[in-house]
């Protein structure tokens, strides 16, 4: 959906045959995976503190027997692998003619900007690292937050009496 909006925003009309091309599908999947996996890396600390376990870091720890750093390294390698596959695949694109090729390159720039935009936003906003964002950017180290009450399980005083 995001990528379709990119095509719309660019005011280009890329033929369906381009979107049916296996290389384009691989590249779209890679871009999506990079954003999702990176978000899991950045959001892990907040999510683990809130008891959320739907995250690649938690999954890697459970399935592969890794500690937090090992799971972070594993997820980072997955991201790197998807970026490498994207780059390799881009170099193997067929040609659809000069105009379509130019439009495809503009469309792929949307995919690339989405990936890099996610990286930049996560390290510029305070959403994941709060006031520590500048320190995290410099050191690449994050202090693990203590566990809190899981989301949706906050104690509400006198709830039992409300009937």
Per-residue pLDDT tens listing for the chain (163 residues): 567 666 667 778 899 999 999 999 999 999 999 999 999 999 999 999 988 889 999 999 999 999 999 999 999 999 999 999 999 999 999 999 999 999 999 999 999 999 999 989 988 888 888 888 899 989 989 988 888 755 555 444 554 444 4
Q: Give me the pLDDT at residue 10, please.
A: 75
Q: Give me the pLDDT at residue 150, please.
A: 58
112 to 25, 36, 95, 118, 125: CA distances (angstroms) = 14, 14, 20, 10, 20
**Rounded Cα gap, residues 142 and 43, in angstroms:** 11
Q: Give me the pLDDT at residue 131, please.
A: 87
**Rounded Cα gap, residues 119 and 38, in angstroms:** 7
Q: Give me the pLDDT at residue 5, please.
A: 65
User: Cβ neighbours of residue 132 under 8 Å, at least 6 residues apart?
Assistant: 142, 143
What is the number of other CB atoms lying within 10 angstroms of the CB of residue 118? 18
- Do residues 110 and 8 make contact, with C-beta atoms less than 8 angstroms apart? no
């Amino acid at each position: 959906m995001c990528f379709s909006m990119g095509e719309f925003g660019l005011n280009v009309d890329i033929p369906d045959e381009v979107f049916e091309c296996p290389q384009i599908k691989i590249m779209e999947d890679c871009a999506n995976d990079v954003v999702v996996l990176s978000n899991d890396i950045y959001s892990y600390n907040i999510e683990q503190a809130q008891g959320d376990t739907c995250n690649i870091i938690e999954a890697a720890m459970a399935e592969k027997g890794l500690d937090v750093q090992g799971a972070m390294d594993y997820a980072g390698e997955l991201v790197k692998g998807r970026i490498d596959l994207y780059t390799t695949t881009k170099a193997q694109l067929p040609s659809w003619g000069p105009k379509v090729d130019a439009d495809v390159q503009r469309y792929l720039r949307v995919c690339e900007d989405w990936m890099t935009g996610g990286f930049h936003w996560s390290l510029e906003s305070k959403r994941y690292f709060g006031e520590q964002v500048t320190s995290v950017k410099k050191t690449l180290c994050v202090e693990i937050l203590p566990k809190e009450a899981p989301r949706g399980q906050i104690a509400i005083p006198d709830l039992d009496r409300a009937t």
